[in-house]
Amino acid sequence: MTPKNLFLFSYITSSMMYCTGFIPCPSRKRVTQDGIFHSQDDKSLENFVHEESHDKMRRNFFGSFIPIMSLLSNPQSSFAAVKAKGAAEYDLEFYMRNLVKGNNDREGNIKATPPPPLPPTRNLAIGSNTSFITSIINDELNSDCIAIRTLSQITKVPNEEIAQMIREFREKFAKAFGTRAKWQKESVTDEYYFDLTCYSLYRTAAVLIPSDYKLREEWVKLLGKEIYSNIKKYSAINKEPKTLTDSIPVMVDILEAFKRNNFISTYRLGDKNDDFRTGLNIFDSYDNEDIDSGLTVNCLISLLRPATLTSSLQTVGEGSRFMPEFIGTSIAAMWREEMGLKVDYETYFVDEEYRPNPKDYFPSEQLLQYSIRK
């Protein structure tokens, strides 16, 4: 290395030490509130000024870093390298930028886009018939509805005490929910007010069953069993399913009951990217044989815009998986009750729309991933 190149290399090294933070500087402070209703970055003035100046230094540094490295490595072709960067140069610049900036704020200073407005609230009923939704949870929050009755049965807490806790939670979080999910009437037949009530129900259940996860699971199973029994009473399907393929019409019957009452906008059986195991072909004779052989069969059900979407996302944002959910547990209850199968399922949320901003996530689809076995 010539003396001139050695001088350049020493200059780059010292600049790199300053930009990468080897020279002490005030630490970066970032406060983020993750949730469905609020998301913001809070910086002090000192940190803001410091970071802005250092970001500018980094940009200036990297603007010249690649060309200088080219000078050191191959002085004869340096001018050509400065004029046009190829894929390798861009890759090196990207990785070096990431090396200097560290793992914090990988997307730079990109801000999350404000969430799109929610569609108008739906009426959770068939015309004026509200019996289906109010059988799950009603405005009175009494033992006539499945949710209150089963929670009281599991926890041994009186219905009136559970109802009072739900009202207190609902009043506490009404303003936050109402900011985006604007209901038209304070009734569980209003989609967004139902969502708020279900969030309050599960917050109450989490308080009454704080750490006994088996007891929580027992309540969710009982909830699904009673909802399925209620649907079955009005079902036109008289044949009890004996195999997975037999259970497909019953699955559709359960989903249609929720869809008719506007609980979901629509649904899909199977993976949309699977041309064979989808719709009414979600199960076949091979699945029946697998179950009989003791193997596990998996299936996927997609729900579009379920009425509990906002409350579920809020719960997940708080770090809990104990979220309002009625359809998945009802279908699982059908397989357990009718066929004696063991059923587990996981819930996921999907934003179907591609968004170029990596910080944007506005899901409208809920996926139920089932594992079924003897």
The amino acid that residue 296 corresponds to is T
Q: Within 10 A of 59 (CB to CB), how many other CB atoms are there?
A: 10
Q: What is the distance, to the nearest Å, from the Cα of residue 172 to the centroid of all Cα atoms in its chain?
A: 23
**Per residue in 44-71, pLDDT tens?**
333 333 444 444 444 444 444 444 444 4
**Per residue in 237-254, pLDDT tens?**
888 999 999 999 999 999
Query: What integer pLDDT is reported at residue 110 of this predicted model?
Result: 79
**pLDDT confidence bin for 309, thresholds 50/70/90:** very high
Domain extents in the chain: 3-101, 131-373
Query: What integer pLDDT is reported at residue 273 of this predicted model?
Result: 82
On the CB side of 125, how many CA atoms lie within 13 Å of its CA? 12
Q: Report the pLDDT averaged over residues 303-307.
A: 98
- Is residue 232 over pLDDT 90? yes
Tell me the pTM: 0.72
Q: Which two tokens stand for residue 194?
A: 């139902």
Closest to 101 (Cα-Cα) out of 130, 143, 67, 58: 58
- Is residue 96 over pLDDT 60? yes
The amino acid that residue 255 corresponds to is L
- For residue 346, the 8-state DSSP code is E
Query: What integer pLDDT is reported at residue 358 of this predicted model?
Result: 86
- Is residue 312 over pLDDT 50? yes
CA–CA gap between residue 174 and residue 153 (Å, rounded): 27
Q: Which residue has the higher pLDDT, 298 or 21?
A: 298
Query: What integer pLDDT is reported at residue 1 of this predicted model?
Result: 54
Query: What integer pLDDT is reported at residue 84 of this predicted model?
Result: 53
Query: What integer pLDDT is reported at residue 236 of this predicted model?
Result: 86
CA–CA gap between residue 55 and residue 26 (Å, rounded): 14
- Is residue 81 over pLDDT 60? no
Q: Which residue has the higher pLDDT, 240 or 201?
A: 201
- Is residue 302 over pLDDT 90? yes
Q: Report the pLDDT averaged over residues 73-82.
A: 46
- Is residue 371 over pLDDT 80? yes
CA–CA gap between residue 287 and residue 293 (Å, rounded): 10
- Is residue 263 over pLDDT 50? yes
Query: What integer pLDDT is reported at residue 137 of this predicted model?
Result: 98
Query: What integer pLDDT is reported at residue 316 of this predicted model?
Result: 94
Query: What integer pLDDT is reported at residue 36 of this predicted model?
Result: 40
On the CB side of 108, how many CA atoms lie within 13 Å of its CA? 8
**pLDDT confidence bin for 272, thresholds 50/70/90:** confident
CA–CA gap between residue 293 and residue 290 (Å, rounded): 5
Q: Which residue has the higher pLDDT, 115 or 226?
A: 226
Query: What integer pLDDT is reported at residue 237 of this predicted model?
Result: 87
Query: What integer pLDDT is reported at residue 282 of this predicted model?
Result: 96
CA–CA gap between residue 310 and residue 307 (Å, rounded): 8
Q: Report the pLDDT averaged over residues 313-322.
A: 94
Q: Report the pLDDT averaged over residues 287-300.
A: 97
State the chain's mean pLDDT as an integer. 81
**Per residue in 126-163, pLDDT tens?**
999 999 999 999 999 999 999 999 999 999 999 999 99
The widest CA-to-CA distance across the chain, in whole angstroms, is 92
The pLDDT > 90 percentage for the chain reads 63
Give the start-end residues of each E strand in 210-295. Answer: 266-269
Q: Report the pLDDT averaged over residues 164-189.
A: 96
If you average pLDDT over each of 22-26, 89-93, 323-327, which comes out highest? 323-327
